[in-house]
Each structure stands twice: as structure tokens, then as C-alpha cells.
């Protein structure tokens, strides 16, 4: 019973966190200067809200690495493999380090700095992999990407 109760409480917290992020990104600050869109998109996918993740990604076309890769993942999860391949190809072209880190079986942890993240760098790729690897694995997108399906 305790595990069930803890699960419900956690689900409520996640749902509330998503509602707050939605308000902050979609209403309060549509330019998302706070950078919440990345975690919101990930949570959408974790909750199975693939269409919401796609709509969010469309608001920020040709965005930074995490959103480009998450968009490709969302397209894959939506069953749109041809579109996902194009999106992944573009993401690989713009941010190749993230792709290498994502598909590597056992990458080395790069030096991480608390003060900043290097855009397009190994540290950004590491953080994305830590936050998103389970989704890529669970959806089958990781094996798809490793098989070279994401081409421009």
C-alpha cells in the first residue's frame, strides 16, 4: 500500500511540475529564456504525450541540441520514422557530438563544470544522454539511430 501511495504522490508532483512548466513556457515566457522547454518536452514523452512534445518542438524550429534530438525522438515515437530520420540527420549535422555520445555503448564522462555547459560540447551531450537515454532505449529509437536510420 505504501508503494502505491508514494507512486500516486509522485505522479501528482510530476503532473504539477508539468503544469507549472507549461504555464511558464507557453504563456508567461514564450521565448523560454529560462530553458524549461527541454525538460518539459522530455516529461511530455515520459508521460506518453508525444503530440504535445511535437507541438512544443515546432515552436522552436532548429533549436539547440537537446530540443533537436528530442524532436527527432518524438517523431520516432509518433510513428513518423521518415520525418524522424530527417530531423535526426539535421540534429547530427548541427550537433554531432551529442549523437556520438548518445549512441556510444559506454561513453566516458567528460569534464563537467558547474558554472556552464558548452553548447555542442561533450558536457552538453553527456547531460542529454543522462536525461534521455532511457526514453531512446525504451522507444526503440536508440537501436534505430545506431542502425544509421537518421540521415539527411
pLDDT of residue 84: 97
Angle in degrees, CA 132, 41, 91, rounded to 5: 65
Coil, strand, or helix at residue 6?
helix
pLDDT of residue 11: 62
Taking the C-alpha atoms of residue 73 and residue 16, their distance in angstroms, rounded to an integer, is 24
What are the tens digits of pLDDT across the range 41-85? 999 999 999 999 999 999 998 899 999 999 999 999 999 999 999
pLDDT of residue 149: 60
In this prediction, the residues of the chain whose per-residue pLDDT falls under 70 are 1-11, 149-152
What is the full DSSP assignment across 38-85?
Answer: HHHHHHHHHTT-HHHHHHHHHTSTT--HHHHHHHHHHHHHTT-HHHHH
Q: Which three cell numbers stand for residue 57?
A: 518542438
- CA quadruple 150, 97, 126, 59: dihedral positive or negative? negative
pLDDT of residue 137: 97
Residue closest to 43 by CA, chosen among 107, 139, 131: 131
Amino acid at each position: 500500500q505504501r508503494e502505491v501511495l508514494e507512486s500516486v504522490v509522485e505522479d501528482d508532483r510530476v503532473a504539477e511540475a508539468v503544469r507549472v512548466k507549461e504555464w511558464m513556457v507557453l504563456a508567461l515566457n514564450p521565448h523560454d529564456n529560462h530553458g524549461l522547454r527541454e525538460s518539459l518536452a522530455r516529461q511530455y514523452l515520459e508521460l506518453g504525450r508525444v503530440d504535445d512534445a511535437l507541438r512544443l518542438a515546432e515552436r522552436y524550429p532548429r533549436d539547440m541540441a537537446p530540443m533537436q534530438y528530442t524532436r527527432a525522438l518524438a517523431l520516432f515515437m509518433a510513428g513518423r520514422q521518415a520525418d524522424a530520420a530527417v530531423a535526426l540527420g539535421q540534429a547530427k549535422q548541427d550537433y554531432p557530438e551529442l549523437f556520438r555520445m548518445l549512441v556510444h555503448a559506454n561513453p566516458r564522462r567528460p569534464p563537467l563544470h558547474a558554472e556552464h555547459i558548452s553548447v555542442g560540447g561533450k558536457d552538453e551531450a553527456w547531460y542529454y544522454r543522462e536525461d534521455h537515454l532511457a526514453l531512446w532505449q525504451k522507444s526503440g529509437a536508440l537501436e534505430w539511430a545506431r542502425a544509421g536510420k537518421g540521415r539527411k
